[in-house]
A and B are shown apart, each in its own frame.
Chain A
């Protein structure tokens, strides 16, 4: 009996040790993955503090497509540097105070994206309430159509977008991007899923107490969807802050392009600035991400299962 007990204890101890080893292995794997995931972001940050000559010395052989004739030493190979030899804010200074074109593009991004996030969410909250409140066959069919539109890649939807903006005379202006963005079904789809989880009894109770639909919408539904609204706003923001397809097709004038497109056209002379520009462009989504990560995770979690 005693021997058996001891054997059991030993077995348990062994299992514990195996568990511990397992935890270590799994953690090591996770650390490795995390390093790979973070490296590009960290490198972009640290490189933005390098001086122009350090960047061209390190990466010159990559971006040197045209010879500018400067006395810059360009090494044949690339040195990946995590930490700059000397930290300098010169690149930031140039971008912020000496080369207005970058700030212009940044501003283009802001005035394209901010209205889209605000209006798309406004339109979508109303629509989601309409979809979620009273179910019906017709509504379900329409909702299905929304899903199909949502699933279509830009390669498909940009052609109709282009035709409309041309016939409305908006082609080439920011409106040609804004208007389709306002009515994109993505936020409607997600918000409807959020709202359908609100128990009908809550709203019915308010209705019996004499609240009209608008009051139910503003006083009950909206407060309950705050988290959902935040998370969808974040997702919509990320997507549009990153847009490339729409401006390339709808805005022939590259002065109106947002910064997201612009880095493709950066040339050798400006390569030292590119990292600083990249970081500046990264700051708004980074702040939003750090501030709203929990909302974001909650919002993504709600999406799972396209049927529900």
Chain B
């Protein structure tokens, strides 16, 4: 065995514990999930083709959860990207006490959801602060968490929690743009908007992709906030995918569960793939 081969073999030893764990706890059971999604029940194990998928797809609760989750993500993710880019741009300009602002914006990241939901309830409850203020202005009270505006409350909460994290990513990307590029742009008399749009945003396209993907992933985690504020059965516009999964877990319907997980897997993969392609197309002449 050559020295190089032996060394690369050793590097596989370093990988072994993780590979073993990931295989046992994530990859192998996922194949079981695929198997479960294709049989009628775990005892008889008759192959039923795509029946489970069709049933789940037709399930009203699944549809509701899917639509709500999608709606939330399509609202929250673009906002999370744009607002945090804006925050990063603000932080780039000369303001006093910059590092304090960075700390402030990042602080929601560490706050456990459980610790702040009380305050959010104080704000958005039917008798809460926002409604008080709206009454003073002569508007009607809204029971936010039990209305179609409930998602907006959650979007605000989501942005509050995630903007700081995204902002740091964008700040790092802005700082890494080569100075020469900006100088060339200045020499060519580019306007500020042009510099921002054609130089900065394009140069950061891979970061934008990353922020978008991370925001998408985090947008699936809003279940935490919703659950802590509204429990197992929220208002219908807040009924998310995780609620559906939890309730299906409770009824031990593995077929439904497996089919739903696979549909979800495909949707998330598809979305990530599309974002990848868009970024590839948009920023391809920039990357080495």
Contact = CB atoms under 8 A, between A and B. Distances in A.
Interface of A: 22-23, 26-27, 29-30, 33-34, 36-41, 43-44, 47, 59, 61-63, 76-78, 80, 123-124, 126-127, 129-131, 133-134, 136, 139, 142, 145-146, 148-149, 151-164, 179-180, 182-183, 185, 188, 213, 217, 238, 241-242, 244-245, 248-249, 259-264, 274-275, 278-279, 281-282, 285-286, 288-289, 293, 296-297, 300-308
B165 interface: yes
Nearest to B22: A183
A238 B110 contact: yes
B30 interface: yes
Contacts of A297: 102, 106, 168
B101 A30 contact: yes
Contacts of B281: none
20 contacts: A26-B93, A33-B105, A37-B163, A78-B128, A78-B132, A130-B18, A139-B15, A149-B26, A153-B220, A153-B241, A160-B261, A161-B25, A183-B21, A238-B110, A244-B227, A245-B224, A262-B114, A289-B110, A300-B169, A301-B168
Interface string B190-209: 00000000000000001101
Contact of A127 (B18, B28, B164): B18
A238 to B, nearest CB: 6
A260 B114 contact: yes
B114 A259 contact: yes
A183 B29 CA distance: 14
Interface string B213-228: 1100100110110011
Contacts of B101: 30, 33-34
A282 B18 contact: no
Contact of A130 (B13, B117, B287): B13
Contact of A62 (B128, B168, B171): B128
A77 B110 CA distance: 31
Residue from B14, B91, B121, B165 having most chain A Cβ neighbours under 10 A: B14
B18 A123 contact: yes
Interface stretch (B3-11, B46-54, B180-188): B3-11
Contacts of A40: 108, 111, 116, 119-120, 160
Interface stretch (B74-82, B146-154, B263-271): B263-271
B17 interface: yes
B19 A142 contact: yes
B251 interface: no
Interface of B: 7-8, 10-19, 21-22, 24-30, 32-33, 36, 87, 90-91, 93-96, 100-122, 125, 127-129, 132, 160, 163-165, 168-169, 171-173, 206-207, 209-211, 213-214, 217, 220-221, 223-224, 227-229, 231, 241-242, 245-246, 249, 254, 257-258, 260-261, 264-265, 268-269, 272, 287
B241 A155 contact: yes
Q: Tell me whether chain A's interface is mostly helix, strand or loop, or mixed.
A: helix
A281 B12 contact: no
Contact of A244 (B15, B171, B223, B245): B223
Given A126-B17, A152-B268, A153-B217, A263 B114 contact: yes
Nearest to B229: A264
Given A154-B220, A159-B258, A248-B227, A285 B120 contact: no
Given A129-B11, A297-B102, 11 more contacts: A33-B105, A39-B119, A77-B127, A80-B129, A126-B15, A130-B12, A134-B7, A146-B22, A156-B265, A288-B110, A297-B168
Contact of A241 (B112, B120, B169, B214): B112
A281 B122 CA distance: 19
A252 to B, nearest CB: 9
B25 A180 contact: yes
Given A30-B91, A149-B26, A279 B18 contact: no
Minimum-distance CB pairs A-B, first 9 = A183-B21, A160-B29, A130-B15, A130-B14, A127-B18, A301-B172, A153-B220, A278-B115, A34-B104
Contacts of B26: 149, 157, 160-161, 180, 183, 185
Contact of A43 (B29, B119, B160, B223): B119
Contacts of A213: 7, 10-11, 14
A249 B118 contact: no
B107 A37 contact: yes
Contact of B122 (A41, A59, A304): A59
